[in-house]
């Protein structure tokens, strides 16, 4: 059970409160997304930009920092973490990014360095009397490398200093790109995980759709490699992933999507073959992201979030990323009881 960005169902993501809450709710791992500052520090933000998750707009002293960055198929206009020093970022405060969630703690928490995040998790694990791992994601690795702020080796240094050194350490490193994971495979025995995205599903068929920038790894775009993330979910693609990673983590709709039935109701479309083929390739399967909120939970479940977990557990997935770790833990308990009958 991975606390996705901590426990953002209840707290502003990637804050001390969010990480501590994830541990309290029973998460086995806590996920920090990792980006780099102008002066080379690693901080925990889901994106390399600041508007959605902080009070940057309330800081007129930074107004001139807003700029547009052009990627291969899109552009982003925002305040980029890479344009700020750690000291400057520490003057900002975090906020809840989901409109329908509790915003009462907005403005209470500062941005954290990765080292601070690890300290929080290790202290929380000690207090809880159990092992709690970390699951860092390298965000926008090509962007950071082009900005002269490569993350990979710095991340390994931080992890080593914190005691995470090999395959037995309670840590996974994840990325949506492929080349940086292949590089890390040559540098560390820490377990690696390949994320696989998608841009939506066809409401008539349930088929996953692929549109830029969520169609393929960004390093594929720059290298001219054709295809989509779906190519890494074929038997051949999964064998390719298994050469450098121990876990494949598809967006959950690759495995279980929904289409409109003849009566107009939502009907499931399951891809059991993907789970089976991944396991045959020696990979574990972790999915993302489980959320209780009505906008994210398909009407098929009639508001029963645990039922969604059970569907995936019955398919044989090995791990889940969740915004609500307590719901995930309850669902796992229900599944284990079901399996023991």
336 CB-near residues (< 8 Å, 6+ apart):
none
Does the pLDDT value for residue 317 go beyond 90?
yes
In the beta sheet, which residues pair with residue 94?
54
pLDDT confidence tier of residue 132, bands split at 50, 70 and 90: very high
pLDDT tens per residue, range 52-63: 999 999 999 999
pLDDT of amino acid 341: 83
330 CB-near residues (< 8 Å, 6+ apart):
306
Segment 78-88 shows an average pLDDT of 99
pLDDT of amino acid 295: 86
pLDDT confidence tier of residue 203, bands split at 50, 70 and 90: very high
The DSSP 8-state label assigned to residue 299 in this structure reads G
d(CA 328, CA 320): 8
Question: What are the chain's domains?
Answer: 2-47+110-340 (3.20.20.190)
Segment 39-46 shows an average pLDDT of 99
pLDDT of amino acid 294: 84
> How far from the centroid of its chain's Cα atoms is residue 236's Cα?
24
């Amino acid at each position: 059970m991975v606390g996705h960005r901590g426990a953002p169902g209840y707290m502003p993501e990637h804050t001390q409160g969010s990480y501590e809450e994830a541990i309290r709710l029973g998460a086995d791992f806590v996920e920090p997304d990792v980006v780099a500052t102008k002066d080379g520090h690693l901080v925990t933000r889901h994106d390399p930009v600041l508007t959605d998750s902080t009070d940057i707009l309330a800081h007129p002293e930074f107004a001139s920092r807003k700029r547009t960055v052009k990627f291969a198929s899109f552009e982003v206009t925002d305040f980029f973490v890479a344009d700020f020093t750690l000291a400057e970022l520490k003057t900002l405060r975090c906020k809840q990014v989901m409109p329908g969630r509790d915003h009462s703690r907005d403005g209470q928490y500062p941005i954290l360095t990765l080292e601070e995040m690890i300290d929080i998790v290790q202290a929380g694990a000690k207090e809880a009397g159990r092992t709690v791992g970390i699951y860092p994601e390298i965000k926008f690795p090509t962007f950071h490398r082009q900005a002269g702020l490569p993350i990979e080796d710095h991340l390994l240094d931080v992890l080593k200093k914190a005691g995470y050194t090999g395959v037995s350490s309670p840590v996974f490193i994840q990325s949506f790109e492929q080349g940086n994971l292949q590089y890390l495979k040559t540098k560390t025995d820490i377990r690696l995980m390949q994320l696989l995205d998608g841009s939506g599903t066809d409401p008539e068929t349930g088929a996953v759709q692929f549109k830029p920038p969520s169609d393929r790894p960004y390093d594929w775009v720059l290298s001219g490699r054709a295809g989509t993330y779906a190519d890494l979910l074929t038997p051949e693609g999964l064998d390719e992933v298994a050469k450098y990673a121990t876990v494949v983590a598809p967006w959950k709709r690759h495995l279980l999507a929904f289409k409109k039935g003849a009566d107009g109701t939502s009907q499931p479309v399951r891809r059991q073959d993907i789970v089976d083929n991944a396991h045959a390739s020696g990979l574990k399967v972790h999915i993302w992201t489980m959320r209780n909120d009505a906008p994210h939970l398909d009407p098929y479940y009639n508001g029963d979030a645990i039922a969604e977990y059970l569907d995936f557990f019955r398919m044989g997935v090995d791990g889940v990323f969740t915004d609500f770790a307590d719901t995930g833990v309850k669902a796992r308990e229900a599944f284990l009881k079901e399996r023991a009958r």
